[in-house]
Structure 1
Amino acid sequence: MYAIVDIETTGGGAGARMTEIAVFRHDGQKVVDTFHSLINPQTYIPPFITQLTGIDNALVADAPIFEQIQDSVRELTKDAWFVAHNARFDYNFIKREFLNIEEYFERDLLCTVKLSRKIFPGFKSYSLGNLCESLSIALDNRHRAQGDAAATVLLFEKLLYHDHKNLIPIDF
Structure 2
Amino acid sequence: MYCIVDIETTGGIKGPTRIIEVAIYKHDGQQVVDEFHSLVNPLTNIPPFISRLTGIEDKMVQDAPLFAEIADSVRSITKDAWFVAHNVQFDYNFIKKEFLWLDEHYHREQLCTIRLSRRLLPGYKSYSLGNLCQSLDIVLNGRHRAAGDAAATVTLFEMLLRHDDQSLIPKNTEPTLFQ
Q: TM-score range by the shorter chain?
A: over 0.9
Query: What is the Cα deviation at residue 168 of structure 1?
Result: 0.3
| Alignment correspondent of 2:142 | 141
The Cα offsets for residues 50-105 of structure 1, whole Å up to 9 and x where unpaired, read as 00000111110000000100111001110000000000000000000000111000
The amino acid across from 2:103 in the alignment is E
For the aligned residue pairs, the C-alpha RMSD in angstroms reads 0.6
| Alignment correspondent of 1:7 | 7
Query: What is the Cα deviation at residue 15 of structure 1?
Result: 1.4
Query: What is the Cα deviation at residue 122 of structure 1?
Result: 1.0
| Alignment correspondent of 2:177 | none
Any unmatched runs of 5+ in structure 1? Answer: none
Q: Does 1:86 align with 2:87?
A: yes
| Alignment correspondent of 1:19 | 20
Inter-partner Cα distance in structure 1 for 2:113 and 2:46: 27
**Equivalent residues in 2 for 1:16-165 (5 A)?**
16-165=17-166
Inter-partner Cα distance in structure 2 for 1:84 and 1:145: 11
Inter-partner Cα distance in structure 1 for 2:72 and 2:25: 15
Query: What is the Cα deviation at residue 44 of structure 1?
Result: 1.3
Inter-partner Cα distance in structure 1 for 2:25 and 2:111: 14
Any unmatched runs of 5+ in structure 2? Answer: 175-179
Inter-partner Cα distance in structure 2 for 1:121 and 1:44: 40
Query: What is the Cα deviation at residue 107 of structure 1?
Result: 0.3
Is the partner of 1:153 in helix, strand or coil?
A: helix
TM-score by length of 1: 0.99
Q: Does 1:166 align with 2:179?
A: no
Identity %: 65
Q: Runs of 4 or more off by more than 6 Å in structure 1? A: none
Aligned residue pairs, count: 172
Inter-partner Cα distance in structure 1 for 2:78 and 2:20: 18
Is the partner of 2:168 in helix, strand or coil?
A: coil
Inter-partner Cα distance in structure 1 for 2:15 and 2:5: 21
Inter-partner Cα distance in structure 2 for 1:9 and 1:25: 21
